[in-house]
């Protein structure tokens, strides 16, 4: 599988974008970022450094906004940082609950 197909597969799996639409989005992104290539885009997507917003690929660095000295990554109307913290909290809660449960009995 060549790099172009890998990028299209990532966009299809992660963002549910069909290859016909994805090609035009990638070509627009490559025009905006002439120093990048299909290989570097694949790496950036795998590292989650590029995301989709308003049917455009954008670098996470470009979507950073500062709010009273605090920076948050925006993806549409959802702040990714807050969601990540909530997921981490849920994971830690689940680990705590898992440790205090034995054979279906909860121990507090």
pLDDT tens digits, 34-75: 999 999 999 999 998 998 888 889 888 765 543 333 444 444
% of residues, the chain, pLDDT over 70: 59
Give burial (CB, 10 Å; 0-12/13-18/19+) of 62: exposed
91 is a domain residue: yes
Find the domain containing 100 and state its range.
Answer: 77-106
71 is a domain residue: no
Give burial (CB, 10 Å; 0-12/13-18/19+) of 59: middle
For residues 87 and 37, membership in a common domain is answered with no
For residues 10 and 55, membership in a common domain is answered with yes
DSSP state of 30: H
Q: How many domains does the chain have?
A: 2
């Amino acid at each position: 599988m060549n790099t172009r197909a890998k990028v299209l597969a990532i966009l299809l799996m992660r963002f549910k974008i069909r290859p016909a639409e994805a090609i035009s989005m990638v070509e627009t992104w490559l025009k905006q970022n002439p120093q990048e290539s299909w290989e570097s885009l694949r790496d950036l997507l795998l590292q989650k450094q590029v995301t989709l917003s308003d049917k455009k690929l954008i670098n996470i660095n470009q979507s950073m906004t500062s709010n009273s000295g605090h920076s948050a990554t925006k993806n549409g109307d959802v702040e990714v940082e807050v969601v990540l913290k909530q997921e981490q909290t849920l994971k830690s809660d689940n680990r705590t609950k898992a440790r205090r449960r034995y054979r279906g009995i909860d121990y507090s």
